[in-house]
Structure 1
Amino acid sequence: MPTPRPFIAVPTLLLCLVMAACGKDDAGGRQQETPTVTTARLQPVRWSDELTALGTAKARESVDITASVTQTVASVDFDSGQFVKRGQGLVTLTQREQSAGVAEAQASLRDAEQLYERNSRLADQQLIARSELETQRTALEAARARVAVQRATVADRVIRAPFDGVLGLRLVSAGTLVTPGTPITTLDDVSLIKLDFTFPESSLSQLAAGQRINARSDAWPGERFEGAITTIDSRVDPATRAVMVRAEIPNPDGKLRPGMLLEVGVERASRETLAIPELALQQSGTNASVFRVETGNKVKQVPVKIGARRRGEVEILSGLKAGDRIVVDGTVKIRDGSTIRDVTEGAETAQADEN
């Protein structure tokens, strides 16, 4: 049997050697690659932000107009949505019986006045006793009181506006029988809006009467309504651990209406703090960290405590200091201890200063 030729395995061996060499080159190439990033050096900035909440608008003054007696409506003297002045008549109830009572009381008053005048002259002439004159004076005062009572019953039949404001929908017509509590319309003074909202008790130290607020409504996109906090409730709700806050917003054009839901922003005093681009923040659950650039362009992942946020920025409460250089863009390509190549404009100068 002929001996196998040894050179048949040479091509296979050469192929393995070539592949191994290529693998080493690829591995070496990957090891030589240095991730490129952009960085930023931290400097203190002025930070001003808002505490936000949802609030419900209320009128400066608001009341449901109702009758105080049982009677038929004689006339309705207003239109829905009308602006009225204080004391303006809105509804007149039937008052024939009451008007007759006033006339009767006035007639009795005239008789009492005439009798008192006659007895007064007789008393001056000492023709009657002074005690009889005092009795007649008491009767005169009683007659005057009866007239006042009858006039009050007539006044009760005219329902008037208790303050300046805008009326709601008319709910009665002439001939309607109303009783105490029957709704006739609503009256709201909307020249100024009261806005009630709540904050957690942890925000109490950041709230004070006089603080400026901004309110926003879905009904008026892009528009802000400015006002100020007037009152902070004296109690914290033990169930929700929240405190009620009231602000007032001028409303001269009447755009805001009672019952509207408004988003409220309470301006906090500006402060000096450290802030980083939101892109630089690494967040895992409740833990936050950033990559800080160390000597030799190596990075160290350091935990940080974050505060408030605003568009594109995050406040840093602890973990970094002014002058630290952090990685902003390219964080997905690095890990703790990686060496980076900084392509930020002016990075060479910054690196020379560090060295």
Structure 2
Amino acid sequence: MNHRLPFSLPVSLTVGRALPARLFVPLFVLLPALLLALALPQASANERAAVIASRVTLEPWSDPLEALGTLRADESVTLSATVTETVAELNFRDGEVVEAGQLLIRLEDAEQQAQLRAAEALRDERRSAVTRLSQLQERNMAPRADVEDSQARLRQVQAEIQGLEARLTNYRLRAPFDGVVGFRNISVGSLVTPGTELVTLDKTDVMKLDFRVPEVFLAILEPGLPLTARSAAFPDERFSGEVASIGSRIDPVSRSVTVRAELANPELRLRPGMLMEVVVERRPRDAVVVPESVLIPSGERHFVMVIDEANDNRLERRRVTIGERRTGQAEILEGLAAGELVVSHGLQRTHEGESVRLLGIADDATSIGEILEATREEGNA
């Protein structure tokens, strides 16, 4: 049985003349429309044309600006030794999450501890001497000068104790902030010297993302612009953030400016050094959006078939002005309002002023395949 296509292609051949390139329609564009047309129920002369519609929606929209960026930790430090001594204690494991102030490494400090105890004993002795002389001086049994000398010696030993306590901090390395430690490349008993790198610490619950954009976009960049980023390590996930700051200089070679964004990383999956694909959402706004399949191009103009639900599903051919596009969707600047119903599939058999048979409304919850399957089941019932 021969199937006749429910539409004809508006392409004519003129002998002796080459066809304009814009009249050649790629097969991969026509094939989905042909298959869908064959799948839709065919209308007889007196039947209404069967169509699938889409609802005009109001959605968040922006003009994307794409770039590549590199992640950095919000805070990052390499803890190193400031004295020459052996490692006495290690209190962390590779990749462990630590808290600010937590003791990570203790170097051997027995000699310094002994000096501190001696200084504390001397302080106690001189404090007692000050007390005795003060009591004697109150009874006029000791000169005031002796009291003042003893108080000065007490202050001296107290200063020495403070110096010893400050030097002891060089033998104890604590985490300066909450973060994740790196690999442990030293062992207890290892001799370290000033400048020896002992362990890295990164604060990664918030990540800094540095990327470059051409200077022509400098006027539209500002702190607070929303963005999304994607990593090859997590291809199905988008990480949200916003522009934090914009570089103060333009690179004279690449004519680009460095932009720094911040990304939340509560699960600590992102790591410093990762390459990220960045999409900055310029001019964020609420836009009237339709699927691209509802558009009927005619030269430089675009039309849609609007279904008047209050008037027996009668069709109205309406001109629209489109704005930006993204995959499968188009922004409508003029001609449609959110909530209206437009024909998305079956346009080839429709004419303005006719009433149509609505098979279903395609949206995020209902696909075209589900609508066609439900229609076939109803026909077989």
Q: TM-score, normalised by structure 2?
A: 0.62
What secondary structure sits across from 1:137 in the alignment?
helix
1:285-339 alpha-carbon deviations (Å, 9 max, x no partner): xxxxx9669xxxxxxxxxxxxx977447999xxxxxx99xxxxxxxxxxxxxxxx
Q: How much has 1:147 moved relative to structure 2? A: 1.5
1:232-256 alpha-carbon deviations (Å, 9 max, x no partner): 1233233432211111111011110
1:48 paired residue number: 62
2:15 paired residue number: 30
1:130 paired residue number: 144
Residue pairs, 1:149-168, within 5 angstroms: 149-168=163-182
For the pair 1:90 / 2:75, whether they are aligned, the reply is no
Amino acid aligned to 1:205: A
- Of the structure 1 ranges 235-244 and 90-99, higher mean CA displacement relative to structure 2 is found in 235-244
Q: Which of the numbers 81, 95, 116 marks the counterpart of 2:130?
A: 116
1:59 paired residue number: 73
C-alpha distance 310-270 of structure 1, shift in aligned 2 (>3 A): same
1:147-204 alpha-carbon deviations (Å, 9 max, x no partner): 1222222232111111111111001101111112211111111111111111111111
C-alpha distance 156-32 of structure 1, shift in aligned 2 (>3 A): closer
C-alpha distance 149-126 of structure 1, shift in aligned 2 (>3 A): same
What secondary structure sits across from 2:149 in the alignment?
helix
Residue pairs, 1:315-330, within 5 angstroms: none
Amino acid aligned to 2:144: R
Q: Percent identity?
A: 41
Q: How much has 1:345 moved relative to structure 2? A: 4.1
C-alpha distance 191-33 of structure 1, shift in aligned 2 (>3 A): closer
For the pair 1:141 / 2:118, whether they are aligned, the reply is no
Amino acid aligned to 2:71: A
Q: TM-score, normalised by structure 1?
A: 0.66
Contact 1:171 1:183 in 2 (8 A): no
1:56-110 alpha-carbon deviations (Å, 9 max, x no partner): 1111111112112111101211111111111111111111110110111012111
1:188 paired residue number: 202
C-alpha distance 48-147 of structure 1, shift in aligned 2 (>3 A): closer
Q: Computing the radius of gyration over CA atoms, which structure comes out larger, 1 or 2?
A: 1
Contact 1:49 1:310 in 2 (8 A): no
Unaligned 5+ residue runs, structure 1? 1-27, 39-44, 278-289, 294-306, 316-321, 324-343, 350-355
1:36-55 alpha-carbon deviations (Å, 9 max, x no partner): 788xxxxxx99733111111
Residue pairs, 1:287-298, within 5 angstroms: none
C-alpha distance 80-34 of structure 1, shift in aligned 2 (>3 A): closer
Question: What is the number of equivalent residue pairs in this alignment?
Answer: 270
2:221 paired residue number: 207
Distance 1:226 1:29 in 2: 55
For the pair 1:238 / 2:252, whether they are aligned, the reply is yes
1:217-271 alpha-carbon deviations (Å, 9 max, x no partner): 0001121000111111233233432211111111011110111110110001157
1:267 paired residue number: 281
C-alpha distance 242-34 of structure 1, shift in aligned 2 (>3 A): closer
Q: How much has 1:114 moved relative to structure 2? A: 1.3
C-alpha distance 199-37 of structure 1, shift in aligned 2 (>3 A): closer
- Of the structure 1 ranges 111-120 and 147-156, higher mean CA displacement relative to structure 2 is found in 147-156
For the pair 1:227 / 2:245, whether they are aligned, the reply is no
1:7-52 alpha-carbon deviations (Å, 9 max, x no partner): xxxxxxxxxxxxxxxxxxxxx98369999788xxxxxx99733111
For the pair 1:216 / 2:216, whether they are aligned, the reply is no
C-alpha distance 96-201 of structure 1, shift in aligned 2 (>3 A): same
Distance 1:182 1:257 in 2: 24
1:71 paired residue number: 85
What secondary structure sits across from 1:153 in the alignment?
helix
C-alpha distance 258-292 of structure 1, shift in aligned 2 (>3 A): closer
